[in-house]
């Protein structure tokens, strides 16, 4: 029986509950929610699957030591006491990332240096030689997290952030992060049951993530590599079995529509959709929102309109007013979900939101709101749906849970009771697609098929993981100024939201 161990999945603030549900469906045990993280237990296969399958995780960490430290010397001694030859040797490279929330330790870089010194000194004393420190693409990525005097040292099994799917060829300015886009879609409950529309799709992130969700294609299928592939205990056959298993994929009989009024954005989205292998599911068109028309089929709108960084206040408010008018008159009988962060913009929409979910888009504290569009007057709509709750509310699956400490003594373990887990076996028969497999893009601009997948992946038997040119990280960029914005958070707070977990 494979040994289970502790794992931590990091995510963005607001997506913790969604990530916990993903882990439940994946078969993880002892799931516990924290801030910007979810802890769980599993074996090596589950760790590989978590990296390969999770849509709302940005990193999967494997803790190797918990300890208490109030001084830098105590951190140094605790790290140096680890048998580091189990994880790397003096010919390897490593990097250390430190996340610190403590009155005892004020500078994360100083903590990272102490961890680095401890590892280097360990090998110097043991072998006379030392491993090298490499910030970019190291053989072993190490993470130390300190909350006051509680320290957790972990190995980063993901390497490059998991939001870097691998399909993004180009991007517009300030694109929506892939992990956030997937989390938004999962929050709506949409899994491909009807058409999906993004009337302001930019570089196509929401349509692409929606297509992957609808067909249940793992987001890791496009990745060139994961951090655990350089570990000493890496199991190539196990990863290959996970990579080549498409039994969970399914048919998608509807369509996903992406519109934008910018020809350049449409061109970029077309390239990205093709790279993701979802061209037959996603229809792109140059069209302003003013021309939005009532869809013929049942549909859902999920969109992320401009926030005001590059548009005047008057024009921005007019834009949101127009959005509300088009939804009211051309989207009746359907639901629309909108992500934005300015109350005055939401006010201009002029519709009553039925759900309001706090979400962070980079440093911006946004809201993700649901609008139920109906024919006639609101009172008549309520009378026809007597007994339903129409009070604006947060989703019952709120992504902002109360923080629970990451305990190692077994208390508060288990995110869901057994009877609350999704019914049915995790191994359904699924749909095994014979053509158009979503493999990795070789860089020649051609859409992948099943036949080309292994040709690309195993082109060189000695190097089964053929590198691809790295893509941009897709994170929302800093705005050029505070014009018409709420106050922005400090850079270290933005980094905390994007890449770090809070108190465990």
Quote the domain boundaries for residue 297.
178-223+236-395+474-488
* Beta pairing, strands 335-340 & 364-372: antiparallel
Q: Which pLDDT score, from 0 to 100, does residue 437 have?
A: 35
pLDDT at 339 over 60: yes
Average pLDDT along the chain: 80
pLDDT tens for residues 363-394?
889 999 999 998 755 545 455 555 554 444 44
The answer to whether 152 and 57 have CB atoms below 8 angstroms apart is: no
Flag the least confident range among 120-129, 429-438, 442-451.
Answer: 429-438
DSSP 202-266: TTTHHHHHHHHHHHT--GGGG-S--GGGGSTT--HHHHHHHHT--TT-----S-EEEEES-HHHH
User: How many CA atoms are closer than 13 Å to the CA of 200, on its beta-carbon side?
Assistant: 18
- Collect contacts of 325-331 with beta carbons under 8 A, ≥24 apart: 325/350, 326/289, 326/290, 326/292, 327/301, 327/351, 327/371, 327/373, 328/373, 330/292, 330/293, 330/294, 331/292, 331/294, 331/295, 331/299, 331/301, 331/373
Instruction: Report CA-CA distances (Å) from 8 to 36, 59, 60, 405.
Output: 10, 8, 6, 13
Mean pLDDT over 347-359 rounds to 95
Residue 182, domain member (yes or no) = yes
Going by C-beta distance under 8 Å and a sequence separation of 6 or more, which residues neighbour residue 458?
Answer: 464
Return the higher-pLDDT residue of 472 and 364.
364
> Which helix (H) or strand (E) element contains residue 315?
helix 313-330
Mean pLDDT over 240-253 rounds to 94
Q: Which pLDDT score, from 0 to 100, does residue 290 have?
A: 92
pLDDT tens for residues 43-83?
999 999 999 999 999 999 999 999 999 999 999 999 999 99
Residue 59, domain member (yes or no) = no
Dihedral, CA atoms, 178, 189, 353, 285, nearest 10 degrees?
Answer: 50
Cα–Cα distance between 105 and 110 in angstroms, integer? 8
Task: Read off the CATH number of the domain in which 258 is found.
Answer: 3.40.50.150
Residue 60, domain member (yes or no) = no
Cα–Cα distance between 41 and 22 in angstroms, integer? 14
Q: What are phi and psi of 79, to 5 degrees?
A: -70, -40
Mean pLDDT over 286-304 rounds to 94
Return the higher-pLDDT residue of 489 and 201.
201
Domains of the chain: total: 1
- Give the pair of three-digit tokens for residue 194: 């009807």
CA angle 476, 477, 478 (to 5 degrees): 125
Cα–Cα distance between 249 and 252 in angstroms, integer? 10
Q: Which pLDDT score, from 0 to 100, does residue 169 have?
A: 81
Going by C-beta distance under 8 Å and a sequence separation of 6 or more, which residues neighbour residue 148?
Answer: 101, 102, 103, 104, 503
pLDDT at 481 over 50: no
**What letter does residue 426 receive in the DSSP assignment?**
S
pLDDT at 356 over 90: yes
What's the alpha-carbon Rg for the chain, to the nearest Å?
A: 24
Mean pLDDT over 284-312 rounds to 88
Q: Which pLDDT score, from 0 to 100, does residue 307 have?
A: 83
Residue 147, domain member (yes or no) = no
Q: Which pLDDT score, from 0 to 100, does residue 314 have?
A: 66
Mean pLDDT over 163-180 rounds to 85
Q: Which pLDDT score, from 0 to 100, does residue 494 have?
A: 44
pLDDT at 11 over 60: yes
Q: Which pLDDT score, from 0 to 100, does residue 369 have?
A: 97
pLDDT at 470 over 50: no
pTM: 0.77
Residue 443, domain member (yes or no) = no
Nearest to residue 303, comparing CAs of 320, 317, 286, 318? 320
Q: Which pLDDT score, from 0 to 100, does residue 362 have?
A: 86
Residue 346, domain member (yes or no) = yes
Residue 436, domain member (yes or no) = no
Map 161-201 to HEC letters.
Answer: CCCCCCCCCCCCCCCCCHHHHHHHHHHHCCCCCCEEEECCC
Instruction: Report CA-CA distances (Å) from 169 to 63, 160, 166, 338, 427.
Output: 34, 17, 8, 26, 33
Return the higher-pLDDT residue of 4 and 443.
4
Residue 122, domain member (yes or no) = no
Q: Which pLDDT score, from 0 to 100, does residue 257 have?
A: 97
């Amino acid at each position: 029986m494979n040994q289970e161990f502790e794992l931590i999945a990091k995510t963005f603030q607001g997506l913790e509950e969604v990530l916990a549900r993903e882990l439940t469906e994946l078969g993880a045990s002892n799931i516990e929610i924290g801030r910007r993280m979810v802890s769980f237990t599993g074996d090596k296969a589950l760790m590989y699957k978590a990296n390969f399958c999770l849509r709302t995780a940005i990193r999967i960490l494997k803790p190797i030591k918990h300890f208490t430290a109030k001084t830098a010397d105590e951190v140094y001694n605790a790290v140096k006491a680890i048998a580091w030859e189990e994880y790397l040797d003096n010919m390897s490279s490593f990097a250390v990332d430190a996340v610190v929330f403590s009155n005892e330790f004020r500078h994360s870089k100083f903590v990272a240096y102490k961890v680095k010194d401890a590892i280097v000194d360990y090998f110097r004393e043991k072998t006379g030689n030392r491993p090298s420190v490499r910030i970019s693409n190291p053989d072993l990525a190490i993470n130390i997290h300190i909350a006051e005097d509680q320290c957790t040292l972990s190995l980063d099994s993901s390497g490059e952030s998991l939001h870097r799917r691998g399909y993004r060829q180009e991007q517009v300015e300030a694109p929506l992060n892939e992990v956030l886009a997937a989390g938004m879609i999962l929050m709506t409950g949409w899994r491909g049951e009807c058409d999906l529309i993004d009337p302001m799709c930019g570089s196509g992130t929401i349509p692409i993530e929606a297509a992957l969700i609808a067909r249940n294609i793992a987001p890791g299928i496009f990745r060139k590599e994961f951090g655990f592939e350089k570990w000493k205990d890496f199991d190539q056959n196990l990863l290959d079995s996970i990579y080549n298993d498409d039994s969970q994929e399914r048919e998608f009989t509807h369509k996903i529509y992406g519109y934008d009024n910018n020809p350049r954005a449409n061109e970029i989205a077309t390239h990205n959709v093709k790279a993701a292998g979802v061209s037959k599911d996603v229809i792109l068109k140059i069209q302003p929102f003013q021309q939005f028309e009532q869809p013929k089929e049942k549909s859902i709108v999920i969109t992320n309109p401009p926030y005001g960084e590059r548009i005047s206040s008057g024009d921005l408010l007019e834009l949101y007013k127009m959005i509300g008018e088009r939804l009211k008159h051309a989207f009746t009988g359907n639901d629309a979900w909108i992500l934005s962060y300015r109350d005055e913009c939401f006010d201009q929409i002029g519709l009553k939101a039925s759900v309001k979910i706090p979400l962070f888009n980079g440093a911006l504290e946004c809201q993700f709101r649901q609008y139920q569009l109906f024919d006639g007057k609101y009172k008549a709509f309520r009378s026809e749906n007597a007994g339903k709750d129409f009070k604006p509310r947060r989703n019952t699956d709120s992504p902002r849970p109360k923080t629970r400490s990451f305990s190692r003594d077994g208390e508060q373990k288990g995110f869901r009771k057994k009877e609350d887990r999704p019914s049915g076996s995790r191994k359904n028969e699924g749909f095994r697609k014979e053509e158009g497999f979503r493999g990795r893009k070789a860089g020649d601009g051609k859409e992948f098929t099943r036949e080309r997948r292994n040709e690309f992946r195993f082109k060189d038997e000695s190097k089964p993981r053929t590198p691809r040119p790295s893509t941009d990280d897709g994170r929302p960029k800093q705005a050029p100024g505070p014009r018409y914005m709420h106050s922005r958070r400090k850079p270290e707070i933005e980094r905390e939201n994007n890449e770090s977990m809070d108190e465990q």
